[in-house]
């Protein structure tokens, strides 16, 4: 018997092939108080996919417990002996991860386990997954399904990209038009029909609780000063020139951004952040900050006046000043602030901000203590398998000269992901590959072994009803690969769009005629 566990445990020793423990409905389950959530997770797994309801009168015993003898945070040991399985966690999360491993073993061995010992603990304490719900709205049930998938892969930070040009997804009492207007766009990249949706505050609270029950902390993202067209569509005063715009329909970077020359924009942002912050108790907040073209600021009388007042000579200074005020506001409320590393503008921001790098990864000798690695060549799951290959995804090494970044994160952007089916196709098996970097120590990683484990991994995904790419789709031939590349470049051309250029010229003309 060989077991295929993903992510690969740090140590796994099998003692022979003879089954010594059989899981039947007669098994007795014992869990201490601290292992309550792990016990609930195990019972859910027994119910589906194993279809077993324990009655607990037999000779087999399964113990879940927390004990300081396991030294690493989130770590656990799992031993199978004659009629006895014991999972011991350093903490409640450790027991929970032990249960995730046990589920994979039980599924593969049809409930009959040989004697074995596993000792396991994560490589990274920040193991993230981003879901973009702005480009396509994912209803609460779909979000919960993806949180279950995170738990299955032992991931523990959910980065929830809640606002963007294409839709505002969080209901706020102080700014009702954000959802009344900003949550609906006229059409998407797939067909000329409207698309929209948003979460009520109760739905957000329920999802956060659901995440916490799976040892996942939630980081909301409210992106600004770029990526705010859905807010501008709702409240035009937020833009330079008070432009009346529809919620964005075309992909790509929008040129209309927040007018930071007007104090009313700050009043809006602080009020929004205050209301959003109340729903997210984990003390982390992502403020976006990516992709900020400054052509509107260059022409806007308000932004230009502000720059003169502050003695600024470049839009990068205006950007840094804006990010600084937003950061300080959240820090005063006790939040740790995250932002996208911004290739053009992001050099001069508060060093305590955690920077998420999607491009321009830090150099060999950079200080990585405030870096989340979300390398788009490796971890952008919306890109085709011919570009973000399974191998790139698996072999990317976020550590430099032995130093680890603060965290690692895989991202599901959804410009071209309209359904759970497509989300699954994009994310799996790549999330499995990513999880072995996030969890498994580098010296225990092995791409050839990972490929060997794929059939068992696919059976696991099928068992929990998660859609996924097939092996053929995930490992495309050269010819298919060219097909993917062609699709991708067509998609990019589509995204760049001539329309925005014409639009910019119009705004510049209007500015001159003032």
For ligand ACM, which residue has the nearest CB? 290
Query: Does position 240 bind Zn ion by CB under 5 A?
Result: yes
Q: How far is CA 321 from CA 130, 312, 317, 346, in A?
A: 27, 10, 6, 11
Q: Rounded to the nearest whole angstrom, what is the least distance from the CB of residue 340 to ligand ACM in the complex? A: 5
Which residue, 135 or 243, is less far from ligand ACM as judged by CB?
135
Q: With contact defined as beta carbons under 8 Å apart, do 46 and 69 qualify? A: no
Chain centroid to CA 329: 24
Tokens of 326: 């937003």
Q: Rounded to the nearest whole angstrom, what is the least distance from the CB of residue 356 to ligand ACM in the complex? A: 7
| CA-based R_g, the chain, Å | 24
What is the 8-class DSSP label of residue 403?
Answer: B
**Which of Zn ion, ligand ACM, none sits in contact with 291, Cβ below 5 to 8 A by type?**
ligand ACM
Which of 60, 221, 291, 409 does the annotation list as catalytic?
291
Chain centroid to CA 36: 26
Among 204, 233, 300, 361, contact with Zn ion (rule: CB under 5 A) = 300
Choose the binding region for Zn ion from 156-164, 209-217, 293-301, 359-367 (rule: CB under 5 A). 293-301
Size of the site for Zn ion (CB under 5 A): 6
Q: Nearest 5°: CA angle at 407, between 406 and 412? A: 150
**Which of ligand ACM, Zn ion, none sits in contact with 290, Cβ below 5 to 8 A by type?**
ligand ACM
Give the residue from 137, 120, 221, 226 showing the smallest Cα distance to 179.
Answer: 137
How far apart are the C-alpha atoms of 113 and 83, rounded to whole Å? Answer: 10
Instruction: For the beta carbon of residue 141, count every other beta carbon within 10 angstroms.
Output: 8
Which residue, 65 or 159, is less far from ligand ACM as judged by CB?
159
Among 303, 372, 393, 412, contact with Zn ion (rule: CB under 5 A) = 303
Query: Does position 228 bind Zn ion by CB under 5 A?
Result: no
Q: Rounded to the nearest whole angstrom, what is the least distance from the CB of residue 461 to Zn ion in the complex? A: 48
Binding to Zn ion (CB under 5 A) within 252-271 occurs at 259, 261
Can you name the residues that pair with 512 across neighbouring β-strands? Answer: none
Q: Rounded to the nearest whole angstrom, what is the least distance from the CB of residue 189 to ligand ACM in the complex? A: 16
Among 291, 302, 373, 436, contact with Zn ion (rule: CB under 5 A) = 302
How far apart are the C-alpha atoms of 380 and 438, rounded to whole Å? Answer: 15
Give the residue from 83, 81, 82, 70 showing the smallest Cα distance to 34.
Answer: 70
**Which of Zn ion, ligand ACM, none sits in contact with 300, Cβ below 5 to 8 A by type?**
Zn ion
291 noted as active-site residue = yes
Q: Rounded to the nearest whole angstrom, what is the least distance from the CB of residue 154 to ligand ACM in the complex? A: 24
**Which of Zn ion, ligand ACM, none sits in contact with 240, Cβ below 5 to 8 A by type?**
Zn ion
Q: Rounded to the nearest whole angstrom, what is the least distance from the CB of residue 282 to ligand ACM in the complex? A: 21
Q: Give residues in contact with ligand ACM (CB under 6 A).
A: 290-291, 340, 358
Query: Does position 388 bind Zn ion by CB under 5 A?
Result: no
Which residue, 290 or 436, is less far from ligand ACM as judged by CB?
290
What DSSP string describes 15-64? EEEEEEEE--TT-EEEE-GGGHHHHHHHHHHHHTTS-------SS-EEEE
Contacts of 43-46 spanning 24+ positions with Cβ under 8 A? 45/99, 45/103, 45/106
Residues that bind Zn ion (CB under 5 A): 240, 259, 261, 300, 302-303
Residues catalogued as catalytic: 291
């Amino acid at each position: 018997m060989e077991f295929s566990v993903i992510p690969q445990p740090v140590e796994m020793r099998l003692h022979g092939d003879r089954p010594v423990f059989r899981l039947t409905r007669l098994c007795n389950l014992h869990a201490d108080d601290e292992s309550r959530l792990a016990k609930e997770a195990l019972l859910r797994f027994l119910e589906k996919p194993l279809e077993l309801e324990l009655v607990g009168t037999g000779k087999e015993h399964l113990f879940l417990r927390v004990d300081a003898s396991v030294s690493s945070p989130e770590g656990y040991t799992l031993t199978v002996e004659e009629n006895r399985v014991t999972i011991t966690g350093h903490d409640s999360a450790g027991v929970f991860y032990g249960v995730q491993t046990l589920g994979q073993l039980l599924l593969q061995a049809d409930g009959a386990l040989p004697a074995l010992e596993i000792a396991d603990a994560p490589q990274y304490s920040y193991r993230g997954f981003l879901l973009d719900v702005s480009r396509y709205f994912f209803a609460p049930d779909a979000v919960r399904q993806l949180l279950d998938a995170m738990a299955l892969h032992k991931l523990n930070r959910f980065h929830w990209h809640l606002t963007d040009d294409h839709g505002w997804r969080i209901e706020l009492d102080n700014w009702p038009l954000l959802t009344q207007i900003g949550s609906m766009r006229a059409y998407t990249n797939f067909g000329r029909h409207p698309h929209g949706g948003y979460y009520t505050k109760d739905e957000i609270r329920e999802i956060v609780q659901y995440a916490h029950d799976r040892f996942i902390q939630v980081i909301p993202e409210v992106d600004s000063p770029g990526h705010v067209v859905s807010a501008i569509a709702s409240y035009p005063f937020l833009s330079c020139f008070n432009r009346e715009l529809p919620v964005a329909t075309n992909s790509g970077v929008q040129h209309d951004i927040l007018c930071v020359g007007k104090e009313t924009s700050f009043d809006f942002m602080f009020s929004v952040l205050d209301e959003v912050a109340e729903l997210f108790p984990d003390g982390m907040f992502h403020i976006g900050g990516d992709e900020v073209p400054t052509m509107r600021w260059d022409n806007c009388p308000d932004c230009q006046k502000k720059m003169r007042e502050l003695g600024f000579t470049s839009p990068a200074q205006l950007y840094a000043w804006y990010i600084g005020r937003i950061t300080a506001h959240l820090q005063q409320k006790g939040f740790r602030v995250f932002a996208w590393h911004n290739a053009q503008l992001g050099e001069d921001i508060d060093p305590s901000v955690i920077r998420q790098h999607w491009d321009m990864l830090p150099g060999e000798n950079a200080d990585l203590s405030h870096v989340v690695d979300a390398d788009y060549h490796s971890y952008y799951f919306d890109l085709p398998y011919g570009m973000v290959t399974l191998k790139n995804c698996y072999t990317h090494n976020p550590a430099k000269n032995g130093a680890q970044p603060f965290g690692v994160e895989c991202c599901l952007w959804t410009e071209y992901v309209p359904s759970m089916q497509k989300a699954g196709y994009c994310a799996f098996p790549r999330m499995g590959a990513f999880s072995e970097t996030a969890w498994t120590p580098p010296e225990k990683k092995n791409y050839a072994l990972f490929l060997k484990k794929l059939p068992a991994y696919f059976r696991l995904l099928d068992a929990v009803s998660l859609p996924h790419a097939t092996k053929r789709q995930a490992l495309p031939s050269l010819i298919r690969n060219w097909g993917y590349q062609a699709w991708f470049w067509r998609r990019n051309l589509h995204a760049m769009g001539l329309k925005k250029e014409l639009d910019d010229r119009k705004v510049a003309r209007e500015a001159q005629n003032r």
